[in-house]
Structure formats: C-alpha cells, structure tokens
C-alpha cells in the first residue's frame, strides 16, 4: 500500500515569497522549463542554454525560486541540478483557490 503524503501547509511568508518569485516573467519561464524537462531535474548548465541572461542573473533567479520553495538544488561535484517542488506549487494553487473562492 502506498502512503499518501499529507497536504503541504504554507505559511503567509511562504505564500508571499512564492507570489514574488512567480511575478517575475523570467523566473516563471525558468520554473516552466524545469517543470517540462524530460528528466526529473535540470542541470544549471542546461538551464543557461535555455535562457538568455547572464550566469549571475540566472543564479539570482534560482536563489529566489529556491527561497520560495519552488525548486530544490542538489550539488553534484561542481555542478548543480534543480528539482521542481511540485507539492509546494500545488499547495500554493490550492491555497489561492481557497482564498479566492
């Protein structure tokens, strides 16, 4: 039998961080690319090929997405991979639906 994870409860601060992170079109596009990647994660090097921004700007956007809880990073040697946190995004969308209903 598969255990069902309990729903994620987001704090007001985390709701604000997610809203801020998603408000930037570049961060939204980056998150979309990570989410539609054929693998379960996306290496930062591959991400740099997909977006036309400097490495420093990409790093800033990734930090904002990670702070909001929308992605998780995993360092593999000198490389970093990013994993989408779909449970957090789902909890955010559910909270929006509940608050706006």
Confidence of residue 78 (pLDDT cuts 50, 70, 90): confident
Q: Which residue has the tokens 């449970």?
A: 87
CATH number of the structural domain 12-100 = 1.10.10.10
86, two tokens: 């779909």
Between 3 and 6, name the one with better pLDDT: 6
38, two tokens: 């054929």
- Continuous segment of H or E residues that includes residue 99: helix 86-100
Q: What is the pTM of this model?
A: 0.84
Between 46 and 69, name the one with better pLDDT: 69
With a cut of 90, say whether residue 23 has pLDDT above it: yes
């Amino acid at each position: 039998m598969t255990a069902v994870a309990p729903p994620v409860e987001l704090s007001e601060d985390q709701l604000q961080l997610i809203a801020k992170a998603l408000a930037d079109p570049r961060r939204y596009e980056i998150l979309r690319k990570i989410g539609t990647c054929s693998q379960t994660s996306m290496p930062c090097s591959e991400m740099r090929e997909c977006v036309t921004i400097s490495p420093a700007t990409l790093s800033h956007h990734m930090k904002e997405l990670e702070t909001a809880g929308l992605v998780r990073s995993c360092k593999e040697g000198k490389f970093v991979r990013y994993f989408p946190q779909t449970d957090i995004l789902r909890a955010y969308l559910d909270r929006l639906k509940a608050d706006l209903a």
